[in-house]
Structure 1
Amino acid sequence: METDPVPGSPTRPNLRLQATTFPGYPASSLSPSFKLDEGYSDDTRSQPDKELMPENVMMLPDWVLSQSESDRAELAYSLLRSLSTPALVAVVDRLNPLLHMDPVVKLPPELTSEIFSYLDPRTLLTASLASRSWRARILDSGLWRLLYINEGWKVDMRAIRNFEQEHAEAISPLTRRARPQYSETDLGEPKLKKRVPPTWLASRSNGGDITAEANGLGSLGPDNEGDHHMTDANERRNSTSTAPSSLPQPPSFLQPPVKSSLLIQCPNGTVKVNWVHLYKQRRRLEANWHQGRFTNFQLPHPSHPEEAHSECVYAIQFEGKWLVSGSRDRTVRVWDLETKRLWYRQLVGHTKSVLCLQFDPSPEQDIIISGSSDRSVILWKFSTGKKIHQITNAHADSVLNLKFDDRYLVTCSKDRTVKIWSRQELSVMDEDYPRICKGGGASYPSYIVDLNEIAPNMLEASIANGHIKSLKPYTHLMTVAGHGAAVNAMQLLGDEVVTASGDRMIKVWNIRNGACMKTLMGHEKGIACVQFDSRRIISGSNDNTVRIYDHVSGAEVACLRGHNNLVRTVQAGFGDPPGADEALRLEAQEVENDFWKAQQAGVPVDLGPRALRRAGHYSNTAGSRDPRNISALGAKIPPGGGGSSWARIVSGSYDESILIWHKDRDGAWSIGHRLRQADAAANAARANLSEAARAAVSAQAQQLQAAQTLLALPTGNGTAAAAVPVPAPAPAQAVEEMQDQETNDESPPSHNANPTSDPTGAQETTVVHDGHHPQPGPANAPNPVAANANPPNPQQLAAPNPQTVLPPHRQAQPPSSRVFKVQFDSRKIICASVDPRIVGWDFACEDEEILEACPFFQGL
């Protein structure tokens, strides 16, 4: 460096730099401070970074700023080399905020929420340990609400809004003055060094990070802890050990579980539901389903056996805290699921068995509709049980099933027809007025006007003159005939009605004109039950299978084999996330592409089932994607029907079992758990007994089992051993009387429930036509005490008669537990069977946190 004097001017140093090349910095000459705007900038610092520059930093002279970046870097390096070690550490400490950029702080909350939504919950919880800013964004309630919905779980938004309104706090002026300006959410945590200048704080407070406020964490004040700086996980782990318990903690699916509140308190006094907590509790509930953890209960409560139906229960439906049941004893009963007791008296009006029902407890509807073997349909007021209307002779034979919505009531019958009835007053100008379709299977009453054959001006004149009158509520609109056997089940959804019949066919009808839109075949025997969810049709049959069909193409996409008798009832929940149609279509197309590729490669995929079995391959049609297992092409849903990993199907059968089907890792359906109605009734009754009563039940069961073993042993002369005294739950005479009653029903079945004599299947038309089937034992007789049977009533245990002895051929047999109806929601399964007791499986397992969140959960 040299100093050259300049005449007429003050002396100043002239800096001359040698052309030196350093690694990472290209050699360059001096460049002017002004550059042509070419649409980009070499300055990699963003505007917020520039604002981080403190005001007390020394301003550099212009001649330094005019140098190239590489020259300035070399100058800075030379200056740093001249500093002492403490001064160098201070400079590095001041440079840390510039060198470590936290994207969560830089990006808007909407973008970070979208990014985080692609991560699984476990990864999110791990990432939340990075820093306070990460924790605030990851624990955002809106993010976990999106994750909840994307899992395919449904939620009752009306219940959530009502819950928030009930718990909202009205902030008074005194409370508002007493509240500090800023909520110190991190009070008590170790403080880090201050690295954020006031200018940056001002800009951040103006911009606002509203994520914390959305979580109820309060307004963010001066960030003295330096949330913008990413800390190490070990440091965070040490600091959180001193945090107060009031701080919101991330949910963890590891043990021990982290406690969390269902509500979040906002600074303005309002409360919001904590979706992080809801997600966690729903995940725990689903884990109970998969692992088979449950408790049993029964209706009525074991302490009140007098409230039970006197005969078998054919129909049930539950919603919220209410359950309605219909029985062979000709009554309809309303139960409170919280108390396991009758809500009010039994509803009497039918003269024969109640076979089907549906109810809506909402104040807008407040109705129960039931159908019976007496061919009638009765409407009851749900809140009071008062009969409000009756459709006498609704069909020519037993009413086997019914469904209704706001517009129509649809009934199906053993007389092979389906009928549509209005629920509101209808005029010919209404959209829901039936449109006559000629050439189909629908017939219409004479008072239904064919709008296609009358001119609009004539129609208006006829209405004005009173020649065409409005139809009263529950007026018959049309009759649909097309099945060749009894219509055992049906489902109403939108403008489509899906029916299942003993003729082995499923039909889809248009409810507005009665036209048959498609017919599905595949079952080998009569069909007993059906469900429709707009994408799939699920059915259970007398061929012991549950089958899944694609609604659009009619292709069979799965056949579930696990029962060994008639599948009487089925319900499915697939857990489709929002907008699943396109994803399902692409998934199905991928399976078909694999099929064609396998065929081109010479794999025997297009052979029939018998040829594949001869080749050593046993086809798995429960949803397998193996090209050799594909039985239909052109479906809009993949094999198995698609759905989320939480999907499940619950089916009940005459084999006295209930199967819970889950998806395995390959997406195929497999039996997760097998439940038995008799076991549930025994567990529910045993849970209500005292310790002494339980010991008596166990002793009686062991005694009876030992006696039966001795009776089966041969003696020296080849005869059976003599009878030993064993407790008998009921006299033989009572058993015979009940058997006679079962046989002499008011409308006995015309044939067995599982016919084999007719190869054409015509005799399967009444598979479940009336619900009446001769049983090997009485429906309402006391249960015998056996090792695998229900325990006796506590009143029976009070005074047992150990001297009663029955011959082997007169021993009372346990009543059949044939399952007639099952229904499940997010929390429980409830079953109706030959046993007059209604039993249930509660997967909440009496967990307080799950029970608190369950009112907001809905099914899949």
Structure 2
Amino acid sequence: MNRLSPLVYKDYISSLPYEIKLDILYRLDIKSLVHMSRVSKQWKLIIEDQQLWKDLYLRSGWSFNQRAVKEYLLSQRTLVEKSISTPRSLLPMMPRLRPFKAPPPILEKFALNPDSAVQQVCSSKSQPLSSFNRQEALSHIIKERPFINRPPLRRHIKYDETPIYHYKESTDTRYINWKRLYRNRSLIEKRWNEGKCKMRQFPSDASLEHSGSIYCLQFNNSILVTGSRDRHVKIWDINTGALLRKLEGHLGSVLCLQFDHRFLISGSSDAALIIWDIHTGERIKVIQGHEESVLNVKFKGNTLVSCSKDRTVRIWRLENSGDIKLHSVLRGHRAAVNAVQFKDNKVVSASGDRTIKIWDMTSGECLKTLDSHSRGIACVEYDGKYIISGSSDQTIKVWNAATGECIHTLVSHKDLVRTIQLDSKSKRIISGSYDGSLKIWGLENGILLRSLSQAAYGRILNLQFDFGKIICSTNLGKIIIYDFTYGIDTQFIS
């Protein structure tokens, strides 16, 4: 037995070639890696390998901002921090922190320490809530307080969240600290699962707000675009809250909009669509075609699909010049077509007649009609695999797009479900209702994961979310932001 003891305690991994060591570690989960890092200094050194953490990051299904990473690595400016006590010297060289440089949030609870060890954020999945009472109790993680308008303030920046973590001072070398990115992204996911966010109203200057209901919105890393009953489209700097442009041209409420890197397209109760230059705000073209209010619009590439109170869906071909041609008109709904979505060659429309129709975009043929809601359908999402619908019957239904089968019926809202978004990557559905609440659901199991408290009095009319925030709008002209990334540097995360 004494002769076997040295063999039992032999460190076989350390004696292997480095590439083989990494190949073994690639096969472990995060918890196992944390335990291994405590075994010896040599194992800890191996586990610090950035390629290993990059692989773990990507294996988790998370994306990163490739453009920001490239620009940072190619930049020649030194990042040497002379003194921790003088962080102002670091600020000019820092990329802008996302998601917001806005007033301090006025609703917060259970703030997490971003400096906690990696193992504190290893468990990113919470167990499904077991009962309705528990779900309602968890909804009070965020408590309601009245909003207070404050002047814009710079976000407090912690020294350890600056680019110094992506910089090797001894060699004056920039690199991407994938372990730090993994930790930050895990912490964001943990906050989603626990409902820990900070909430605020946007913009901080009340004098810039819309004067009526905000029916539609869309945002990216730089701008937020909103459309309102006051007939205006407003383009905001999402980081500072500054109003960049106010677009005027519609003769009625702005009910829908979408933008890409070229155009902003808005639809109105005046029955018109307007194409704007997203960079200059110039009005390029006014499209007349629908006979009544344009209720929803979606476009991608050179295809634009719109729907209307006139019961039709129209498919348009959009040229890079901004010129547009009508391709086809889809008829078959018996009431207003409230929402539309398309992917590849399929168009999905939802109507006040209680039905969802799936159309072939090329031929205009109706392929399927889904009928299960007991009242009109207000919103729809479609990702090629699932169709998600929200209705005035207060329910959300999840459908198999290929078979037309209703997989789940989600029940919790107390009023019309006005807006939904589906994210296939995170497997989340978020819904907003006239009851003033937002709810987060599991896509695959249909379980209510979280109920976020009412941010402001009024009905939720529209919402959008990304990896770190939810932005919604109300019939009282308010824009509310739920921020799950507070205190975290998200410059390289997308």
Which TM-score applies when normalising by structure 1? 0.46
**Which residue does 1:857 correspond to in 2?**
493
Question: Where do 1:22-101 residues align within 5 Å?
Answer: 100-101=10-11
Code of the aligned partner of 1:566: L
- Tell whether 2:262 aligns with 1:352: no
Which piece of structure 1 moves more, 333-342 or 115-124? 115-124
Tell me the residue number matched to 1:146: 55
Deviations 1:576-599, CA, capped at 9 Å, x for gaps: xxxxxxxxxxxxxxxxxxxxxxxx
Q: CA 1:557 to 1:167, structure 2 compared with 1: closer, same or farther past 3 Å?
A: farther
Contact 1:299 1:341 in 2 (8 A): no
**CA offsets 1:189-227 (integer angstroms, 9 cap, x no match):** xxxxxxxxxxxxxxxxxxxxxxxxxxxxxxxxxxxxxxx
Are 1:819 and 1:831, in contact at CA under 8 Å, matched by a contact in 2? yes
What letter is aligned with 2:280?
A: T
Q: How far apart in 2 are the matches of 1:556 and 1:843?
A: 32
Please state how far the C-alpha of 1:514 moved relative to its aligned partner: 2.4
The aligned residue for residue 274 of structure 1 is 177
**Does 1 or 2 have the higher relative contact order (CA < 8 Å, sep 6+)?**
2
Question: Of the candidates 398, 415, 429, which is equivalent to residue 649 of structure 1?
Answer: 429
Aligned residue number for residue 240 of structure 2: 339
**Distance change >3 Å, CA 478–CA 270, structure 1 → 2:** farther
**Residues 1:385 and 2:385 are matched in the alignment:** no
Match of 2:16 in 1: 106
Question: Which string of whole-angstrom CA distances, capped at 9 and with x for unpartnered residues, describes residues 788-838 of structure 1?
Answer: xxxxxxxxxxxxxxxxxxxxxxxxxxxx60111011111111111111121
Residue in structure 2 matching 1:401, options 296, 310, 315: 296
Among candidates 458, 468, 484, match of residue 827 of structure 1: 468
Residue identity opposite 1:102 in structure 2: Y
Query: Structure 1, residues 731-763: CA drift from partner, whole Å, max 9, x if none?
Result: xxxxxxxxxxxxxxxxxxxxxxxxxxxxxxxxx
Q: Is the 8 A contact 1:105 1:133 kept in 2?
A: no
SS at match of 1:563: coil
Deviation of 1:374 (Å): 0.6
Name the aligned partner's letter for residue 549 of structure 1. Answer: W
Q: In structure 2, what residue type is equivalent to 1:119? A: L
1:780 maps to which residue? none
Shift of 1:370: 0.3
Per the TM alignment, residue 487 of structure 1 is displaced from its structure 2 partner at its CA by 1.2
Cross-structure match for 1:325: 226
Using the TM superposition, give the Cα deviation of residue 405 of structure 1 relative to its aligned residue in structure 2, in angstroms: 1.1
Q: Is residue 33 of structure 2 the alignment partner of residue 253 of structure 1?
A: no
Aligned 8 A contact 1:139 1:250 in 2: no
- 8 Å Cα contact 1:565-1:654 kept in structure 2: yes
> In structure 2, do the counterparts of structure 1 residues 124 and 536 end up closer, same or farther at CA, with 3 Å as the change threshold?
same
**Which position in structure 2 is the counterpart of 1:284?**
187
**Farther-moved stretch of structure 1 (512-521 vs 830-839):** 512-521
In structure 2, do the counterparts of structure 1 residues 100 and 297 end up closer, same or farther at CA, with 3 Å as the change threshold?
Answer: same
d(CA) in 1 for partners of 2:18, 2:257? 53
Amino acid at match of 2:252: K
* Kept in 2: contact 1:662–1:672 (CA 8 A): no
Distance 2:71 2:367 in 1: 41
Once the two structures are TM-superposed, the CA of residue 328 in structure 1 deviates from its matched residue by 0.4
The answer as to 2:38 corresponding to 1:129 is yes
Residue 197 of structure 2 aligns with which residue?
A: 294
Structure 2 residue identity aligned to 1:504: R
Q: Which has the higher helix share?
A: 1
* Equivalent residue, structure 2, for 1:461: none
Q: What secondary structure, in the 3-state scheme, does the structure 1 residue paired with 2:240 have?
A: coil
Whole-angstrom distance in 2 between the partners of 1:556 and 1:112: 48
Whether 1:841 aligns to 2:479 is no
Question: Mind listing any 5+ residue stretches in structure 2 that lack a counterpart?
Answer: 80-115, 123-158
Distance 1:311 1:153 in 2: 37
Structure 1 residue 264: deviation in Å? 4.7
The 1:126/1:515 distance shift into structure 2, 3 A limit, reads same
Shift of 1:96: 7.1
**Residue deviations 1:71-122, cap 9 Å, x none?**
xxxxxx9xxxxxxxxxxxxxx9xx979983522541552x444433343212
Distance 1:495 1:146 in 2: 34
- Which whole-Å CA distance do the structure 2 matches of 1:667 and 1:370 have between them? 35
The Cα of 1:661 is off from its aligned counterpart by: 2.9
Aligned pairs, number: 421
Give the CA deviation at 1:267.
Answer: 8.7
Rate the CA distance shift 1:388–1:658 in 2: closer, same or farther, 3 A: same
2:386 is aligned with 1:536: yes
2:410 matches 1:560: yes
d(CA) in 2 for partners of 1:388 and 1:288?
Answer: 42
Conserved 8 A contact 2:121-2:187:
no
Corresponding position of 1:48: none
Q: Distance in 1 between matches of 2:76 and 2:397?
A: 46
Separation in 2, partners of 1:124, 1:562: 40
Query: What whole-Å deviation, never above 9, does each CA across 1:483-513 have from its counterpart, x for those lacking one?
Result: 2221111112233222111222222223233
Provide the identity percentage.
37
User: What is the distance in 2 between the residues matched to 1:835 and 1:317?
Assistant: 18
Provide the C-alpha distance between the structure 1 equivalents of 2:224 and 2:333, rounded to a whole number of angstroms: 32
Question: CA separation in 2, counterparts of 1:494 and 1:162?
Answer: 33
Structure 1 letter corresponding to 2:319 = Q
Are the equivalent residues in 1 in contact too, given 2:471–2:479 (CA < 8 A)? yes
Q: Is the 8 A contact 1:483 1:503 kept in 2?
A: yes
**CA contact 1:266–1:272 (8 Å) conserved in 2:** no
C-alpha contact 2:268 2:293 (8 A) present in aligned 1: yes
How far off its partner does 1:144 sit?
Answer: 2.0
Contact 2:352 2:376 in 1 (8 A): yes
3-state SS of paired residue (1:844): coil
The residue identity in structure 2 corresponding to 1:274 is: N
Q: Is the 8 A contact 2:199 2:455 kept in 1?
A: no
Deviation string 1:419-443 (CA, Å, 9 cap, x unpaired) is 1111227xxxxxxxxxxxxxxxxxx
User: CA separation in 1, counterparts of 2:23 and 2:344?
Assistant: 34
1:575-590 equivalences under 5 Å are 575=425
Aligned to 2:215: 314
Partner of 1:369: 265
Once residues 829 and 130 of structure 1 are traced to their aligned partners in structure 2, the CA distance between those partners, rounded to angstroms, is 41
Q: Is the 1:677–1:817 contact (alpha carbons within 8 Å) kept by the matching residues of 2?
A: no
- C-alpha deviations, 1:427-466, integer Å up to 9, x for none? xxxxxxxxxxxxxxxxxxxxxxxxxxxxxxxxxxxxxxxx
- Conserved 8 A contact 1:403-1:411: yes
Q: What is the SS of the residue equivalent to 2:43? A: helix
CA distance in structure 2 between the aligned counterparts of 1:409 and 1:551, rounded to whole angstroms: 21
Flag the 1:266–1:298 CA change in 2: closer, same or farther, 3 A: same
In the superposition, relative to structure 1, how do residues 472 and 817 fare at CA in structure 2: closer, same or farther (>3 Å)? closer
TM-score (norm 2): 0.77
Q: 1:114 to 1:572 in 2, by over 3 A?
A: farther
What is the Cα deviation at residue 398 of structure 1? 0.8
Indicate if the aligned counterparts of 2:121 and 2:183 stay in contact, CA closer than 8 A: no
Separation of aligned partners in 2, 1:472 and 1:336: 25
Select the structure that is richer in strand: 2
Q: Return closer, same or farther for 1:114/1:259 CA change in 2, 3 Å cut-off.
A: farther
- Asked whether the equivalents of residues 303 and 317 of structure 2 are also in contact (C-alpha less than 8 Å), the reply is yes
Q: Is the 8 A contact 1:566 1:654 kept in 2?
A: yes
1:552 deviates by 2.3
Cα 1:259–1:647 change in 2 (3 A) is farther
User: Are the structure 2 counterparts of residues 566 and 145 from structure 1 closer, same or farther at C-alpha, using a change threshold of 3 Å?
Assistant: same
Q: Which residue of the partner structure matches residue 637 of structure 1?
A: none
**1:375–1:398 contact (8 Å) kept in structure 2:** yes
